[in-house]
Amino acid sequence: MACIKISNLTKEYGKHRVLDNVSLTIEENKIYGLLGRNGAGKTTLLNLITNRIFQTEGTITIDDENVVENGAALEKIYFMTELDLYPEGMKVKDLFKWTKEFYSNFDTDYAMKLSKKFGININKKFKELSTGYSSICKIIITLASGAEILIFDEPVLGLDANHRDMFYKELVANYIDEPKTIILSTHIIEEVSEILEKVIIIKDGKLLGDKEVESLLGGAYLVSGSSENVGKYIANKKCINIETIAGFKEATIIGELSEEDNNQIKELGLETSKVELQKLFIHLTGEEEVK
């Protein structure tokens, strides 16, 4: 198992509240997206889960064991951070050996296979790697760690389009081969939307949403057409974004389409379409509801 339960979690630095009474359950063997704007509290949440900092209030458990100073619980997690925390003077191949001392299930053969696939020189010292290859090195170690919970905080930093695509495919293959709990914190939402099963949205330190991707996207839709007719349709709707170009208008609406909605849309000569996850995220974490 690898179930994370977070209850009434609050983190304060002096008078600044970074996380505010967050409660959620991260289920085992699912791929999560942790989404939020810069400063929303995402990295703070991940640091609390991995016991790198301490909460002001609340509890975090992994399989019902409190994570605070609990090596048995924390051994189930491998956390890839934006920071370079490895011994910089070590060669990549020696980092694999070093990691195995802390994670007994680390798969060295798999790490070597990934190194060849991604084209990383295992004889180079970590400090000699470019930003992109530093990220690749950390990705390889995380995937090969053998941990039950893999956390990636901005994993594709510095990666070109080809390597990003390789990472996503390898992540899915790794998950299919041996299901585990995966948390991806990233700003490149459009690239990961297809592989996410659930999303956690943080806004200003508060939990804005914790839903299945399909359910989240099913609770919103786009309506577009002439500005006048779109204006008539959205008069009594919860509209979170409006874009206007000349006489054309597109509105993002929270809610599900009813038969009455479909009839009205048809009568007004409008069109509907699905909302992309990234655009929905931008609108949900932006300003208040559009009037």
Evaluate if residue 42 carries a pLDDT over 70: yes
Q: Please list the alpha-helical segments (H only) found in 78-198.
A: 92-100, 108-118, 131-144, 161-177, 189-192
Residue 274 DSSP one-character state:
P
H/E segment holding residue 281: helix 277-284
Q: Count Cβ atoms below 10 Å from residue 289 Cβ, excluding itself.
A: 10
pLDDT given at position 287: 55
Evaluate if residue 144 carries a pLDDT over 50: yes
- State the sign of the Cα–Cα–Cα–Cα dihedral 86, 90, 93, 99: negative
Q: C-alpha distances in angstroms, 274 versus 57, 248, 271?
A: 39, 18, 11
43-75 confidence digits (pLDDT tens): 999 999 999 999 999 999 999 999 999 999 999
Which value, in Å, is the radius of gyration of the alpha carbons in the chain? 22
Q: How far apart are CA 256 and CA 184, in angstroms?
A: 28
pLDDT given at position 290: 43
- 147 CB-near residues (< 8 Å, 6+ apart): 75, 76, 77, 78, 103, 105, 180
Q: How far apart are CA 231 and CA 143, in angstroms?
A: 49
Partners of 17 in beta bridges: 12
Name all domains of the chain by residue range, CATH numbers in brackets: 4-215 (3.40.50.300), 219-284 (3.30.70.2020)
Question: Residue type at 20?
Answer: D
pLDDT given at position 288: 47
pLDDT given at position 84: 75
Q: How far apart are CA 50 and CA 67, in angstroms?
A: 7
97-107 confidence digits (pLDDT tens): 999 999 999 99
- DSSP result, 4-45: EEEEEEEEEETTEEEEEEEEEEE-TT-EEEEE--TTSSHHHH
| Cβ atoms of 197 and 212 closer than 8 Å | yes
Q: Which residue has the tokens 């949403």?
A: 209
Counting DSSP H helices and E strands in the chain, the numbers are 11, 14
Q: What percent of the chain has pLDDT over 90?
A: 84
Q: How far apart are CA 115 and CA 205, in angstroms?
A: 37
Q: Collapsing DSSP states into helix, strand and coil, what is residue 238?
A: strand
196-245 confidence digits (pLDDT tens): 999 999 999 999 989 999 999 989 999 999 999 999 999 989 998 999 99
| Cβ atoms of 173 and 113 closer than 8 Å | no
Residue 130 DSSP one-character state:
-
Confidence (pTM): 0.90
Residue 91 DSSP one-character state:
B
Q: Which residue has the tokens 């974004």?
A: 241
Q: Count Cβ atoms below 10 Å from residue 229 Cβ, excluding itself.
A: 18
Tokens of 17: 């509240």
Partners of 271 in beta bridges: 224
